[in-house]
């Protein structure tokens, strides 16, 4: 049966090769990509010649040879990056990416091998210690959607706080390596001074390893009690959103049925209030038990008084003093 298949392939390479290729193209062109991939992988597994042709075409495409490396130290150069990856094969191109404005490393770079097999060898051990930091690599075509962005990443990545300034990434990884295999981890360093910021991150390959690290009550490193918790919980606490006070509505305590004035006080700008306030309206009708309004007061008659003529007194003492009742009186001598 196998000889018959090979004989048919040999017959297809005769004079009718051009017409056969055009016919195959017309048949394959409308097929969706997943179906074509399934067909070629099946043929490649059955016929070594087809498998070799597929490998040759794939190796020529940089998408299978270019790696994205993240988590680099700020002092890592392109030379030290290439030195860490050259053990897996000949490198065609390798570089650390720098910020154009500041001229400092952005913490990641790229490695392009000459052969696809070299890239595959490097991906078998994606975590590499470079300049004191554990860097991680994946295919550049995957970007940040590589192995470290799986659904359980939030349960595997830990925040480590309270670190001593002399704790390096090697010491950090050596301490937490006893709980399980580490995928990625490093102490956080300042970009300008390259000094430790007193915290770091460790990402385990399994959730069980991260749970063991959290549950262990004996966490003393560098003579200090360190903080170990899930990185997501620390991020949510530090980046808690706050509503601006100027837009928080506040209700003023007012009596029911009292209409709030619409003009603000002069010289003041009300903040967070809106005028007029919505208040409860008066009831349409009062209960029958409410007493009726009192009768109006009776009109009082007006009282007329006789006009009084005022006599203007002359200035000074009168010529003849007049006493009470119009009788004259005398002023005694002193």
**Assign residue 59 a region: left if phi > 0, alpha if psi is -120 to 50, beta otherwise?**
alpha
Strand partners, 202: 158, 185
Q: Can you tell me the distance from the alpha carbon of 299 to that of 175, in angstroms, rounded to the nearest whole number?
A: 102
User: 81-102: per-residue pLDDT in tens?
Assistant: 999 999 999 999 999 999 998 8
Decide if 194 contacts 224 (C-beta within 8 A): no
Decide if 245 contacts 272 (C-beta within 8 A): yes
- Where the chain has pLDDT below 50, the residues are 1, 12-17, 147, 238-249, 257-258, 264-270
- pTM value is 0.54
Strand 133-139 relative to strand 127-130: parallel, antiparallel, unpaired? antiparallel
Q: Mapping DSSP to helix (H, G, I), strand (E, B) and coil, where does residue 169 land?
A: helix
Question: What confidence score (pLDDT) does residue 17 get?
Answer: 47
Type and span of the H or E element at 195: none
Decide if 157 contacts 231 (C-beta within 8 A): yes
Q: Can you tell me the distance from the alpha carbon of 219 to that of 241, in angstroms, rounded to the nearest whole number?
A: 31
Closest CA to 24 of 16, 44, 4: 16
């Amino acid at each position: 049966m196998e000889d018959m298949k090979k004989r048919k392939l040999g017959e297809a390479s005769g004079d009718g090769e051009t017409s056969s290729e055009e016919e195959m193209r017309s048949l394959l062109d409308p097929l969706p990509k997943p179906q074509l991939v399934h067909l070629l992988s099946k043929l490649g597994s059955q016929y070594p010649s087809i498998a070799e042709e597929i490998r040759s075409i794939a190796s020529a495409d940089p998408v299978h040879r270019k790696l994205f490396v993240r988590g680099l130290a700020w002092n890592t150069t392109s030379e030290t990056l290439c030195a860490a990856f050259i053990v897996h094969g000949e490198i065609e191109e390798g570089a650390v990416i720098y910020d154009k404005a500041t001229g400092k490393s952005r913490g990641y770079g790229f490695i392009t091998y000459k052969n696809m097999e070299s890239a595959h060898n490097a991906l078998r051990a994606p975590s590499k210690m470079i300049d004191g930091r554990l860097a991680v690599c994946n295919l550049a075509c995957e970007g940040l959607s590589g192995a470290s962005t799986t659904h359980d990443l939030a349960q595997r990545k830990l925040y480590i706080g309270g670190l001593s300034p002399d704790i390096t990434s090697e010491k950090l990884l050596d301490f937490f390596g006893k709980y399980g295999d580490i995928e990625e981890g490093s102490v956080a360093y300042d970009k300008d001074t390259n000094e430790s910021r007193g915290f770091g991150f460790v990402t385990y390959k399994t959730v069980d390893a991260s749970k063991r690290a959290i549950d262990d009550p004996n966490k003393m490193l560098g003579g200090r009690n360190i903080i170990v918790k899930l990185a997501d919980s620390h991020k949510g606490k530090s980046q808690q959103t706050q509503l601006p006070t100027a837009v928080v509505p506040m209700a003023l305590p007012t009596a029911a049925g009292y209409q709030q004035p619409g003009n603000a006080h002069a010289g003041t700008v009300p903040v967070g209030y809106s005028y007029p306030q919505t208040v409860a309206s008066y009831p349409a009708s009062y209960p029958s038990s409410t007493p009726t309004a009192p009768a109006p007061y009776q009109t009082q008659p007006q009282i007329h008084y006789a006009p009084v003529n005022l006599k203007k007194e002359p200035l000074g003492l009168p010529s003849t003093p007049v006493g009470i009742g119009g009788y004259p009186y005398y002023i005694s001598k002193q």
